[in-house]
Structure 1
Amino acid sequence: MEANNSKKHVVTHLLLILGSIVMLFPFIWMILSSFKTVGEQMSIPMKILPGSFGYLENYRQALEAVPFLRLYLNTILMILGRVICAVIFSSMAGYGFARMEFPFKRLLFTLVLMQMMVPGQIFIVPQYMMLSKIRLLNTVFALIFPALVSAFGTFLLRQQYMALPKELEEAAVIDGCNPWQVFTKIMVPVTRSSLASLAIFTALFAWKDLMWPLIANNDLNRMPLAPGLTVLQGICNNNKGALMAGSVIATVPMLLLYIACQKQFIEGIAQTGIKG
């Protein structure tokens, strides 16, 4: 019996290792290719390892072709705006749907769920027309606008609030707290792991957002990283190494952020995914 269990564990771990290799290979290939010369990129048979990891010409070309520092600044401003708005508005809306009673509550929450099922591309045209009429295209606000309110965040936090015992709020009311104090001093601190999870989700989605920033901005100096890489692709189309170098520059910071915050990410998923 123990031998069968050990064999199952070995097979399971081998499959997990194989899956990890398959998922990590594109990222590893991107890093290796960023150090290859043009000749090494075109060589037959294909070379997996670069001739030298000290070859930084691709990074120099990528940094000269596109203002990465400016793109980083635009991306950080966009992420901060989206995260702050999503956390504030989604937490308040989620608490309202979970604990408060008001007319058409179920209908409105159904509409929130329906919005999650609709492809985001459908809203691009009305959003563009709205921002065009109020002359906010080519601004940082244009990058933040589509994520002012998150239907996913509202649903996520509503489920978390529903799972909390009402005795917490009743005890706070007995102590003299008004509804706003109950929300800010009791409910928000208790659900901070879910708020952190929502913030990470929002930051990840904002970091890789491509279509809307390309439509809302036609000025390279006002673009975030993802559309900036499309500009780099047009400039360095003949040098795949420079494209890989630009991808590394754009990818590594978010990867490090995810690694640093993975505890909060996993806790938020565990608490909200199995309750409510």
Structure 2
Amino acid sequence: MSTTLNPIGLTPPPEPEHEGSVESAPAPTPQKSRWRRRLSQPKTLLGRIVLTIILVGFALLFLYPFVWLIAASLKPRGEVFDNSLIPRTFTPENYVEVWNQLPLLSWVWNSVAIALLAAGTVAISSSIVAFGFAYFRFPGRRLLFGLVLATMMLPGAVTMIPIYLIWKETGMLGTWVPLWGMNLFGSAFYIFLQRQFFLGLPRELFEAARLDGAGYWGLFWRIAMPLSIPSFVIVFLFEFQASWNNLQASLIYLNAGSVDDFTAPLGIAYAMTKYSPTAGGHGDYQYVMVASLIVTLPMLLLFAFGQRYFIEGVATQGRKG
């Protein structure tokens, strides 16, 4: 009578106690992640060359309008629109004469002041509202937050006339107040961004502060705000850029005022009309190009100095605790 024996005479190793332990086989890499790594890190020299050519091509495509603007600002009147990136006749005196032709300094100052007021008020007000939605637990909180987000679905054309009538009744037409006053009540989009960031903060920090006697304003100002600098900066940058380039609001609320009270976008639009031959001008569009370049530089500097906060803020907006 034969018996069945262990081929090697040893006790088999015990099974892992828990699934997913270190002894278990690793999970397969998702197909999407593999393709992402292949596209971002090509292994062959040919792949790196092709990727570099594509990136350089897109960079040149986006830089072309800016280079064209620089070239046009250095040309005389008759060569502004010849599409040459190297001026045949360099005219650097355009950068001196533009200050005599246009009240550009007043326009830039008006735009800076209005953009700072608009960005500062909407960043602070949206942060306060977002902290309330993230920290407090009260009945109907989700419904109320949904109503706030629903306001983003209203087109601007729907609310344009009612808002204009409100400012008309208050007697604020022709002043700066309509260009930044609405930001005192926050923005649905920025409230959403700030709320997502606040939800990623450990709630234990706020509970410990409450035990130490901190009030609700202290929780926001001493804990939430210092930890949310990246998201606060990105909201500030977004609104500063939106206010800086807001031609429509300036055209509606400032068009009846003095030319010196115009913002930079409205002033450039006014200069285009002023120098148009159909409006009695002489076609001195080189001054418009110089003004456009000078107005563009603050945005480039702002994003260059705030790039670290900008990237960090974008990368952390999707966190949720």
Normalization by structure 1: what TM-score? 0.91
Q: Does the alignment pair 1:210 with 2:247?
A: yes
Alpha carbons of structure 1 residues 164 and 213: separation in structure 2 relative to 1, 3 Å: same
**Match for 1:181: what amino acid?**
G
Decide which moves more: 114-123 or 264-273. 114-123
Query: Helix, strand or coil: the match of 2:174?
Result: coil
Gaps of 5+ in 1: none
Q: Does the alignment pair 1:260 with 2:299?
A: no
Q: Is 2:110–2:263's contact at 8 Å kept on the other side of the alignment?
A: yes
* Structure 1 residue 240, shift from structure 2 partner: 2.9
Query: Helix, strand or coil: the match of 1:272?
Result: coil
Q: Does the alignment pair 1:250 with 2:287?
A: no
* Structure 1 residue 164, shift from structure 2 partner: 1.4
Alpha carbons of structure 1 residues 103 and 223: separation in structure 2 relative to 1, 3 Å: farther
Alpha carbons of structure 1 residues 162 and 3: separation in structure 2 relative to 1, 3 Å: closer
Instruction: Please point out which of 157, 174, 193 is paired with 1:156.
Output: 193
* Structure 1 residue 91, shift from structure 2 partner: 0.6
* Structure 1 residue 251, shift from structure 2 partner: 0.7
Instruction: Please point out which of 13, 17, 20 is paired with 2:59.
Output: 20
Partner of 2:13: none
The aligned runs of 1:61-140 (5 Å cut-off) are 61-140=97-176
Q: Is 1:236–1:242's contact at 8 Å kept on the other side of the alignment?
A: no
Q: Is 1:98–1:158's contact at 8 Å kept on the other side of the alignment?
A: yes
Partner of 2:32: none
Alpha carbons of structure 1 residues 58 and 80: separation in structure 2 relative to 1, 3 Å: same
In structure 1, C-alpha distance between the alignment counterparts of 2:298 and 2:199, rounded to whole Å: 35
* Structure 1 residue 4, shift from structure 2 partner: 4.8
Partner of 2:177: 141
**Match for 1:185: what amino acid?**
R
Partner of 1:236: 275
Instruction: Please point out which of 40, 49, 53 is paired with 2:79.
Output: 40
Alpha carbons of structure 1 residues 100 and 65: separation in structure 2 relative to 1, 3 Å: same
Q: Is 1:197–1:265's contact at 8 Å kept on the other side of the alignment?
A: yes
The aligned runs of 1:46-57 (5 Å cut-off) are 46-53=83-90, 55-57=91-93
Q: Deviations over 1:152-177 (max 9, x none)?
A: 21111000011112111112112221
Alpha carbons of structure 1 residues 182 and 42: separation in structure 2 relative to 1, 3 Å: closer
* Structure 1 residue 242, shift from structure 2 partner: 2.0
Instruction: Please point out which of 262, 265, 280 is paired with 1:223.
Output: 262
Q: CA RMSD in A?
A: 2.1
Instruction: Please point out which of 218, 227, 244 is paired with 1:181.
Output: 218
* Structure 1 residue 274, shift from structure 2 partner: 5.2
Query: Helix, strand or coil: the match of 1:130?
Result: helix
* Structure 1 residue 275, shift from structure 2 partner: 4.7
**Match for 2:87: what amino acid?**
P
Q: Deviations over 1:147-204 (max 9, x none)?
A: 3322121111000011112111112112221221111111110101110111111111
In structure 1, C-alpha distance between the alignment counterparts of 2:251 and 2:42, rounded to whole Å: 57
Q: Percent identity?
A: 33
Alpha carbons of structure 1 residues 18 and 42: separation in structure 2 relative to 1, 3 Å: closer
In structure 1, C-alpha distance between the alignment counterparts of 2:301 and 2:196, rounded to whole Å: 29
Q: Is 1:63–1:246's contact at 8 Å kept on the other side of the alignment?
A: no
In structure 2, C-alpha distance between the alignment counterparts of 1:104 and 1:221, rounded to whole Å: 49
* Structure 1 residue 6, shift from structure 2 partner: 2.5
Q: Deviations over 1:133-154 (max 9, x none)?
A: 0101111112112433221211
* Structure 1 residue 223, shift from structure 2 partner: 1.9
Q: Is 1:62–1:232's contact at 8 Å kept on the other side of the alignment?
A: no
**Match for 1:253: what amino acid?**
P
Instruction: Please point out which of 50, 54, 79 is paired with 1:11.
Output: 50
Q: Which has the higher helix share?
A: 1
